[in-house]
Structure 1
Amino acid sequence: MSGERSGRRPTAAPVLYVPVRQGPKGCVARLFRTPRGGRTAVGFTSAQRLRSTLGAAQRWVRLAEPALRALTEPLGAAAVIVDPVPQPRPRTATVVREVRGPAFLGPRRARPLTAAAGGAGSPR
């Protein structure tokens, strides 16, 4: 039995809907960044999932997962993420600089206005 085939047909690689952009010589697979900054390729199991994630205007092609991997690995994308869920961009911390100076020393007591000695409106 060890040399017999099981009678099962080999399963075909899943076909994915892959987002593309227009390149100088045709369509180019879009690469994305992981939350940690690594490059990755993405594929979707349906055109509807692609559109709901990337928008209706996003162009796509159908590729088998091994073909997508073969195209993107030489470009530094070691991973293929299927049906990614977009993550909100992290909010950047707002740096507030403490300003010190006369305007920030606190409330001051108002002094009554007095005419300068010998000035134009001073009594003689």
Structure 2
Amino acid sequence: MMDILTVDDADPAEPGPATPPHVPVGLYVPVRLGSAGGQQVRFSRTPLGVRTAVGFTSPERLYAVLGPGQSWIRLAEPALRSLAAPLGVTTVTVDPQLAAPAAVPRTPVEHPCARRLVRPAVRGPAGAGVVRRVPSGP
């Protein structure tokens, strides 16, 4: 009888692919021009203010958040972590969304418990400390 080799019967000693085909090999990491002329990785902050390294799965996603003029390099996620670790950055955010404050200031809404400002009574000459009243009547 003939044995039929299927995909599930692969030799366990044979190494498989390093990464599945649907997982991106590298991230598109935003960079800026450094003072010495080289490129430096740009770091961002989370909405809670924690510094994070950022990477995008495609240039289109990077441009959608940071604009079409943003420079980038391709790095694997472990390499990005290695660059960020000496700076104390331990978080990597993949495909972040823009979280910026509103561009137009909102009109303030008065809280129902807010106290209204009451103007003081009109006083006499400086230092007099006396309220002048105009007598009414003839």
- Using structure 2 for the length normalisation, give the TM-score: 0.61
Give the residue type in structure 2 aligned to 1:15: G
Matched, 1:100 2:108: no
For residues 97 and 33 of structure 1, the distance between their equivalents in structure 2, rounded to whole angstroms, comes to 37
Aligned length in residues: 101
Alignment of 1:30-109 (within 5 A): 30-89=42-101, 98-102=116-120
Q: Say what the alpha-carbon RMSD is for the aligned residues.
A: 3.2
How much does 1:9 deviate? 2.7
Mind listing any 5+ residue stretches in structure 1 that lack a counterpart? 104-124
Give the residue type in structure 2 aligned to 1:24: S
How much does 1:87 deviate? 2.2
Mind listing any 5+ residue stretches in structure 2 that lack a counterpart? 1-11, 122-138
Give the residue type in structure 2 aligned to 1:62: R
Hey, what does 1:5 align to over in structure 2? 13
CA offset digits 1:68-124 (Å, max 9, x no partner): 1100121121111111112243789x6988533148xxxxxxxxxxxxxxxxxxxxx
Selected match of 2:39 from 24, 27, 33: 27
Hey, what does 2:29 align to over in structure 1? 18
CA offset digits 1:23-48 (Å, max 9, x no partner): 11211100000111100010011111
For residues 86 and 64 of structure 2, the distance between their equivalents in structure 1, rounded to whole angstroms, comes to 29
For residues 11 and 58 of structure 1, the distance between their equivalents in structure 2, rounded to whole angstroms, comes to 28
